[in-house]
Amino acid sequence: MAVESAPDTKTLKVGDEAPDFTLDSATTNGSVTLSAFRGKQNVVLAFFPYAFSGTCSAQMPSYEAELDRFRSYDTEVIGVSEDSKHALAAWAKQYGLTFPLLSDFYPQGKVVDLYGVRHAAGMPERALVVVDKSGKIAWIHVHRPTGEVPDNEELFEVLRKLS
């Protein structure tokens, strides 16, 4: 079920099948494959420019603080950046982040480009993509300017509509 959305990404729109991928996780053992959630949970893909940057260091801990609320909507939060797995692991430790933080480091930006969320300056956009349980893109929001911290209440409204 698609819900009202902000502009689509450069390659995807609401209603499209979410491209599958597998990336290494800095916070969980091994790797994470998006299709493993199909039929089980919604997924919030939170693309972000850089670990240790000011806005990202406010955004990702805000998701950690509300993980129980996300999970009450049968939703997993997954952060994706082009930072190395080691940098993400250090950042996660510093901020106490436990949800999957995935490294799209090598080949650099493969998933960022697959989802069409590369900023003109080369790094990932601050973009949120909600994938519903059926594997379809239910909502997209690319935050411009990139210094804007996303509003979690907007995400929870989307997830409420998917329930």
Instruction: Give the angle 15-98-63 at the CA atoms, nearest 5°.
Output: 50
Give yes or no for a contact between 156 and 22, defined as CB atoms under 8 angstroms apart. Answer: no
Give me the DSSP letters along 44-100.
Answer: EEEE-S-TTSTTHHHHHHHHHHTHHHHHHTTEEEEEEESS-HHHHHHHHHHHT--S-
Active site residue 56: yes
SS3 assignment, position 2: coil
Single out the catalytic residue among 26, 46, 56, 131.
56
Tabulate helix, strand, coil % of the chain (nearest 5). Answer: 30, 25, 45
Give yes or no for a contact between 80 and 47, defined as CB atoms under 8 angstroms apart. Answer: yes
Q: How many CB atoms lie within 10 A of CB 61?
A: 14
Active site residues per annotation: 56
